[in-house]
Structure 1
């Protein structure tokens, strides 16, 4: 059970690439195709009727398709406009143009940034994204080196990581009045 389910979920959640030097680190068994295949009767089931499994597979694929379509229409595509606007305003956020501020946090921005960044003039590599979260708190996020990477283009200093509010201010020698 560990090698055929838990290991994959844990590895993906922790950003571990499936492949290393051409060798798989773990098996991927939770794809939509695998889920559909598991709806077929097993070899030793007395009832080998595939129609019931086919109907369940149709429902499963339809639900997955509609969820994905909804995501792209109502979340992913509107996020592109936010990233475009943030890129257009980047020099107002920081003179380097390497920091963007998203009007709303929590949106799927990374894929759009990588696509749009290549057309920037003057060319610049975005290193940080700032935004307010759902609770109205400011956040800073380092841009990953690659789309699905956990390595940052420019990581925050270690002494800042995990700090908030006054603790972050004090670590930088700032004193609130």
Structure 2
């Protein structure tokens, strides 16, 4: 039976967590790290084995045992007939998704202090969609795009990205044991015992689990401290956008923030009134918190994260700066417009607004 690194000083007296030994994946590494964010499991030891008699002594078992029974804290997904998914999604859950499904809200509350309510529900859904679901898909062999669709479309990769993911990092920890050992000789160290090799594997798993857990913690913290407050600000700006443009095509934010995801969501959720554009074309925000800050004007992308805009800033403005831009645009206080036409700047809010209004009609 393999357990925690014996050199670890923390007394491990919480409920025993079990998972399998041997080659490990990102999903169980994340599942274990998420559990340990909860007070109940913060001092839990980990046993890595496939021995049913040992697993039966564990309080909580993830990714092994061919059993999914939340009432008994059994969270495996490999058994025939397993088909559980996260609400509103079609991706079959892995051990990461199962743990998040049952413990996610409590984990978010522990990390952020959020009370029960709409904000907690929102983060629960967002973190699964943006972070956890990819672990589930990866472990269940589901591609982000259908390979046959890519083939029929004649699309090929421009570069290889297999090593550029959290899953690939975990695999490196897992496969580290496959490095060749020195050839036996009178001067070489004696061959390691089975227990020693298992202890080394367990240490690598704990490193991988710590790494994945840190990424998860950063995701939750960022969502709670930046993304969620930004949603409230964008929601307020979206509701009052008609004061800047009768058709609601210009959104003015009080400060720089992650706005795009919220804007697309609000547009989908909000019925369009007569005379109001269904889409915002430009977003304005100050460069800094100072009262005399310059202002930016940003063209909204057609798709979240895409590079094609709903409406570029006018072609004659692209790549032009300062006085030359004042002249060509007819707006004073201009600073620049990027050559790609996706962003520009003005010395004042009033100037940025005038640029946006002219761009809407160009």
Shorter-chain TM range is: 0.7 to 0.9
In structure 1, how many angstroms separate the alpha carbons of the residues matched to 2:283 and 2:329? 20
Task: Tell me which residue corresponds to 2:301.
Answer: 144
SS at match of 1:24: coil
User: Does residue 326 of structure 2 align to residue 169 of structure 1?
Assistant: yes
**Cα distance in structure 2, aligned partners of 1:74 and 1:172:** 38
Instruction: For structure 2, list consecutive stretches of 5 or more residues without a partner in the other structure.
Output: 1-144, 182-191, 334-362
The runs of 5 or more residues in structure 1 that have no matched partner are 1-17
CA distance in 2, matches of 1:103, 1:175: 22
Aligned residues: 158
- SS of the residue 1:59 aligns to: helix
How far apart in 2 are the matches of 1:149 and 1:175?
Answer: 31
Computing the radius of gyration from Cα coordinates, the structure with the larger value is 2
Question: Which residue does the alignment assign to 1:4?
Answer: none
Alpha-carbon RMSD: 2.4
What are the equivalent positions in structure 2 for 1:8-27 lying under 5 Å apart? 21=153, 22-27=155-160
Counterpart in 2 of 1:9? none
Out of 264, 268, 286, the position equivalent to 1:114 is 264
Residue in structure 1 matched with residue 41 of structure 2 by the alignment = none
In 1, the alpha carbon distance for the partners of 2:245 and 2:179 equals 65
Q: 2:167 aligns with which of 33, 36, 54?
A: 33
Query: Are residues 147 and 169 of structure 1, via their aligned partners in 2, closer, same or farther at CA, if it must alter by over 3 Å?
Result: same
Q: Among 310, 316, 324, which residue is 1:159 paired with?
A: 316
Q: How much has 1:89 moved relative to structure 2? A: 1.1
CA distance in 2, matches of 1:165, 1:131: 19
Of residues 64, 73, 79 in structure 1, which corresponds to 2:224?
73
Q: 2:213 aligns with which of 56, 62, 65?
A: 62
Tell me what 1:43 maps to. 178
